[in-house]
Amino acid sequence: MSDTPPAPPTTRIRTTPRTRLTAVIVACALFMQNLDSTMIATALPTMAEAFGYDPVRMNVALTSYLLSLAVFIPASGWIADRYGARNVFRAAIVVFTLGSILCGRSQSLEFLIFARILQGIGGAMMVPVGRLLLLRTAAKTELVAAMAWLTTPALLGPVLGPPIGGFIVTYLDWRWTFNINIPIGVLGFVLVTMFIEDVREPPRGAFDVRGLILSGTALAGVMFGLETLGRGITPPGVSEGMIATGLIAGVLYAWHARRHPAPLLDFTLMRLPCFGVAFTAMMLFRTGIGAIPFLLPLMLQVGFGKSAIESGLITFASSAGALLMKPAAQTALRMFGFRNTLVWNGLFSGIMLATCAAFRPTWPAAAIYAILLVGGFLRSLQFTAYNTLAYGDVPRARMSSATSLYTAGQQLAATIGVSAGAVSLELARVFSGHVEAEPADFSVAWLVVGGLTLAAAPVALLMPRTAGDDLTGRQTAPKAGE
């Protein structure tokens, strides 16, 4: 007779119609934000020509939005508790849509910057507060399925944005990259009003103004510095100065947070086993994955000489993989558990990302599609697992603080990823003596970001084997003799 213990029994969990509807509405709003952030990058050269500026200078339209996000994300949790998550989410959609309208009617770079900052304020509230709405609506056992809906737009937006933006600026007017948000925003406002209930918790204390200044300066300094350093937009001294300023502000904020009874970014959440491990591993994983929207289109167009349309069609393969994962996430986590999934799926994800280093112009398109498709599937499963497990042991009263900290970490990790990819690509180009980046230089960059992704997998070993079983209905097999 075999001594192998029986597989743990599982309980199939069904999500309620209310949870599914809330997840779809929130996911659509987040998809709008993610799509907008990537479409504008494609439209920048055309916008620069319309305004009469150098395309490099037009990058301020990207960084102004990024800085606005960084400054206001820490305040999102407290504001949601004070005024109600539904009210804040609905207001965020209005602000983001209004910013889009103003962007589409900009006649000068200065006005565009103002409108992008307004968009950023809406986006800073929309992402964490939307997640908070879902967390407070869904039962604990529904979180895996609910989070799968939120993971999909986060992965689809950066991939779909460039080809859609390219189509708009080629066949329409660049202003439609912003005008396309108007009907989505109006529909989102109506759906939130009709179908989402208001949920709120009393704020833990008075609003932390000093914390907002310090945390905003820290995030904005580091993110802006890394963004410009990786892309070569400003002189290195300016980027390095911004990073140094951000790090100093971060140290001051950490000192402040230890003494404040209700800090905006509450680092004591890291003491919660599931949140601490999931947050740490997510930061490493997202750093590697965050480089994909930057490296893949650039490699296909600059390194392989493909057109923007051809590049967009190829990069779409990873989106298809993410879509295929959504119905499989809960089944996979119920069968294998969070710990095993995060370790093994994390390793395979890193390997698939590093495999992109072998891509060459002579490769059959089918082979590239297959690797990107499988990689997108694995990455989407990994993000769903992180985003669910992180909130598995967070008390309801601290859920708003958790969403603020987690979202700020996601934004920072994605920025670090772009910078890591850009810097490693540039160093490889310089050391190889190439005038422009060639396929071999991109290989170095893919290996670097693949290594960052792989580093996340061992972190999952710090969690117990039964971590998150209560989220999936997975029951632990009885020990021998019981």
CATH number assigned to the domain comprising residue 452: 1.20.1250.20
Strand, helix or coil at 10?
Answer: strand
- Looking at residue 118, what DSSP letter applies? H
Number of domains forming the structure of the chain: 3
User: In terms of DSSP H, where are the helices of 345-438?
Assistant: 346-355, 365-389, 399-432
Same domain flag for 354 and 218: no
pLDDT tens sequence across 195-209: 888 777 777 778 899
Same domain flag for 92 and 50: yes
Q: Is residue 413 part of a domain?
A: yes
Cα–Cα distance for residue pair 424/279, rounded to 1 Å? 25
Cα–Cα distance for residue pair 380/462, rounded to 1 Å? 22
Range of the domain at 46: 18-198
DSSP string, 267-318: GGGGGSHHHHHHHHHHHHHHHHHTTHHHHHHHIIIIIS---HHHHHHHHHHH
Question: For residue 51, which amino acid is it?
Answer: F
Same domain flag for 280 and 184: no
- Residue 4's pLDDT is 42
397 touches 201 (CB < 8 A): yes
Place of tokens 């986060």: 154
Q: Is residue 187 part of a domain?
A: yes
Same domain flag for 236 and 137: no
pLDDT tens sequence across 269-314: 999 989 999 999 999 999 988 888 778 878 887 788 877 667 767 7
Strand, helix or coil at 474?
Answer: strand
305 touches 361 (CB < 8 A): yes
Cα–Cα distance for residue pair 59/415, rounded to 1 Å? 15
**pLDDT over 80 (residue 465):** yes
Taken in order 92, 322, 136, 339, is the CA torsion positive or negative?
negative
Question: For residue 318, which amino acid is it?
Answer: S
pLDDT tens sequence across 125-175: 998 999 899 888 888 888 888 887 777 766 677 667 777 877 887 788 888
In angstroms, the first-to-last Cα distance of the chain is 18
Same domain flag for 145 and 93: yes
Same domain flag for 175 and 215: no
